[in-house]
Amino acid sequence: MSKIKQTYGSWPSSIQAKQLISGQINPSQLQAHGDSIYWLEPRPEQKGRSVLVRYTRHSAKIEKDILPSDKSVRSRVHEYGGSSFKVCDRGIIFVNQANQQLYIMMNDGTCRSITKLNDCRFVDIQTTSNNLFLVCVCEQHLETEKEPINTLVSINIDTGKLNTLAQGEDFYASPAINHDQQLCWISWSHPDMPWDNTRLWIADISEDGTLNNTQCLRDTPNESIFQPLWSPDGDLYFVSDINGWWNIYNINNTRSPIIDMPAEFGLPQWIFGMSTYDFIDNNTISCSYIENGLGKLATINIANKTLSTIDTKLDSFDQIKTTDNTIWFVGSNTEKFPAIYSYDCINRELSAIDTEDRWQPESITISHAEAIHFDTSDSQQAHAFFYPPVNPGYSGTDKELPPLIVISHGGPTAFSDNSLSLKIQFWTSRGFAVCDVNYRGSTGYGRPYRDALKGRWGIADVDDCIFAARYLVTQNKVAKDKLIIRGSSAGGYSVLCALTYHNDFKAGASYYGISDLSVLAEDTHKFEARYLDRLVGPWPEAKQIYTDRSPINAVDQLNCPVIFFQGLQDKVVPPNQAENMVEALKQKGLPVAHVTYAEEQHGFRQAETIKHSLQTELEFYGKVFGFTPAEPEEKVSDTEGISSKFYNQD
C-alpha cells in the first residue's frame, strides 16, 4: 500500500496522548515474600495514586489494589522516594503518601498506623527476623532547622517507639539485615552524592532494637558503594566503582571484584531500594548490568568467578529478585513496555506476568532505536539512541527531511535506554525524528564518563546534544532548520543553555527546568542542595560561574521560541525558575508559552497533565514550524488547576 505524502509533524497517529497513560503504568519496587510477588503500579487517572499489586505464583492469580482505597503508597524522602513498602510475616508495612506515616495492613485485612510523627518521613523499610522491629531511613522536617535531619532508625511495630541507630551524617540508605541480626547500610554527607562517595557500615541489632558493635567497613575517597546485600550464608556483598566501573565485591576479598569487567552492575541512587543483583544460592548470583549502554541479564558463579549471560530478547532490566531458582525482574525492549518477568534457572524458561490488558502499539508503527556514538567537543565521544520517524500510512513530502527532537535526560547523573517509550513513539509516529542523548555525565559507560560532567554542567552536556544534532544533519537524516531540544529537570537546564548560548536549535521545551543556578543553589531540597558543588563549583565561592552559566542572565542571547511546563508544588525545581525565564522572554518579545499544573510536583503523574502537556507541546511546534497537527481523538483543554499562557505569538 502506498503511503500518503504529508508534512512531517502533521501525520495522524494511532498513538494518542491517552495511550500514554497506559504506557505510564509501569511496575516498580518489586518484592518477593513466600509464594507471592508484590509491586507498585501508578494510577494516573486517580491523580497519580500508587497502588500495591500481588501475584500468587501457585495460582497465577493477580490481585490489584490490595491496600485500602484511601491509601496511596509513596515516600517523599529526598523528594524522589522509592522503597516504600515491606512485606513480612505479620503483614504489609507501607508509607502512606498523604501523611508520610508508616502503616501496617495485618494478615487479617485490618489496617492501622504504626507512627504518628507528623514531622517525619520514612523510606527503605526492613524488618528484623523476629518481626518485632522495622529498620528504615527517617527524614525529620523541623521548622527550627534549615535542612531536614536524616537518620537510620528502628521502630517497634506494636508501639511505634523509635530508636535512633545512626546519626550525624547527612544521608543514609540501603539497610539490610541477615539471619544473625546483623545490619549493614551506607551513608554519605554533603557535598557528595551517592554516586560520588559513600561509606559502608555494619552493626549487631539487639533484642530491644538498638545497635552494638558498629563498624565502618569501607571509607575510601571517591568510592561509590551501591546495594550492600547479605548472601544466604551471611556473607556481605556490595557494588563498588573503585576500579572505574560498578562491579560486585565480597567484603572478605575487596582486592578484586567477583567479575572484573567494564560494565555497570550498579546504578545512580536517585531513589531508594534499587536492586541490580540477588542470590539464587550461596554460590550463585543473579544480576543485571549495562554494557555499552545496553542492559543484560546474567548469573555469576562465585567460586569460579564466571558470568553467564541469559538470552531474553530484552534490553532493559530492573529490580532483580530471586526465589526458588527463579529470577524476577522488570524487563522491556524496543517493542515491549516494562513488565514483570520470571526466568526459571532450572528449565531456562522466560515468562511474563500479564499484569493487565495494556494497549500495545502495532509493531509496524514502532520506531526502533539505533545506538549511535559520535565525536563531540574536547576530542571526546558521546552516545545516543536515534529514532527515525515511522508511520505505516504516511511519509514526508518530496525532498523534505524530518524535524529532529533532541532529548536531554534528567539527573544529570541518569541515563536513557532503548526500551519502548510512548513519549518517544508519540513523536516519531507523527513524523519527528528523535535523538535521546546519553551525554557525558550519564551512567552506563563507566565512572570516567560519569565524572566528565564535573565542573562542566551546562557545557559538556549541551555540547553533546548539539554535536548529536549536527551528526544527524551530516548523515542527511534530519532537517538542519528544524532542530528542537526538549528535556526535564536537569535536562531542562541543558535545553535552556543550548538555546541561550548556541544557535543550532530553532525551538525548545523545558519541563520543570533550571534557569538560575544561583537561585537553585539556595532554594532546593536537601538531597541536591550541594549537588552543584561538583557539577559547577563550590557555592558561594564560585558564584561568578553560577552567574555566567545561568540562562536567566543571558536572555539577550536567546532568539527562538520556548515552551515551559511546571508543576506548582515542585520542591526540587521551584516554580520561580520557569516564571522568571518566561517573564524575561515575554519582555524581549520572543514567542514563549508557560503551562502550569497546580497539583503536580517534580515529575508529572496525573493523567490529564500527561495528555495536556504533550498536546500543548505538539501544537506549539506546529505554530513554530508552520504545520497543523492532526486533530487528537480527545482534546484536553485547560481546566481548573491547568493554565496555558502564550505570549508574542500571532
Domain annotation for the chain: domains and CATH numbers: 4-16+361-647 (3.40.50.1820), 69-274 (2.130.10.10)
The DSSP annotation for 173-190 comes to EEEEE-TT-EEEEEEE-T
Strand order across the 182-188 sheet:
171-177, 182-188, 199-205, 211-218
What confidence tier does 608 reach under pLDDT thresholds 50, 70, 90?
confident
Quick one: pLDDT at residue 638? 73
Q: Which long-range contacts (CB under 8 A, 24 or more apart) does 575-583 make?
A: 576/519, 576/523, 577/512, 577/513, 577/514, 577/515, 577/516, 577/519, 577/520, 578/510, 578/512, 578/513, 578/515, 580/515, 580/516, 580/519, 580/552, 581/496, 581/510, 581/515, 581/551, 581/552, 581/555, 582/647
The distance from CA 92 to its chain's CA centroid, rounded to whole angstroms, is 25
- Output the CA torsion sign for 556, 561, 566, 571: negative
Distance between CA atoms of residues 250 and 237, nearest Å: 4
Q: Report the pLDDT value the prediction gives residue 356, as an integer from 0 to 100.
A: 59
User: Could you give the CA distance from residue 339 to residue 354 in angstroms, rounded to a whole number?
Assistant: 8
Catalogue the E-assigned strands of 459-555: 483-488, 507-511
Per-residue pLDDT, 648: 84
Least confident range of 98-112, 308-322, 393-407, 606-620: 606-620
DSSP-based three-state secondary structure for 117: coil
Least confident of 19-28, 447-456, 475-484, 548-557: 19-28
Q: Is the predicted pLDDT of residue 149 greater than 80, yes or no?
A: yes
Hey, what's the cell of 56? 500468587
Strands 294-301 and 483-488: unpaired
pLDDT at 411: 87
Which cell numbers hold the place of 387? 529514532
Going by C-alpha positions, the residue among 632, 626, 500, 480 that lies closest to residue 556 is 500
pLDDT (tens digit, 9 = 90+) per residue, 505-539? 999 999 999 899 998 888 888 999 999 999 999 99
Q: What SS3 string covers 123-161?
A: EEEEECCCCCEEEEEEEECCCCCCCCEEEEEEEECCCCC
Contact 537, 514 (CB under 8 A): no
Dihedral sign from CA coordinates of 629, 634, 637, 641 = negative
Amino acid letter for position 24: Q
Query: What letter represents residue 236's amino acid?
Result: L
- DSSP letters, 440-485, are TT-SSS-HHHHHTTTT-TTTHHHHHHHHHHHHHHHTT-S-TT-EEE
The yes-or-no verdict on residue 390 having pLDDT over 80 is yes
* Pick from 172, 193, 175, 565: nearest CA to 414: 193
With cut-offs at 50, 70 and 90, classify the pLDDT of residue 21: low
Averaged pLDDT, 276-282: 97
Rounded mean pLDDT, 621-647: 86
The answer, as to whether pTM is greater than 0.85, is yes
Confidence of residue 337 (pLDDT cuts 50, 70, 90): confident
The DSSP code for 2 is P
Query: 142-163 burial, b if ≥16 CB within 10 A, otherwise e?
Result: eeeeeebbbbbbbbebeeeebb
Q: How many residues does the chain have?
A: 650
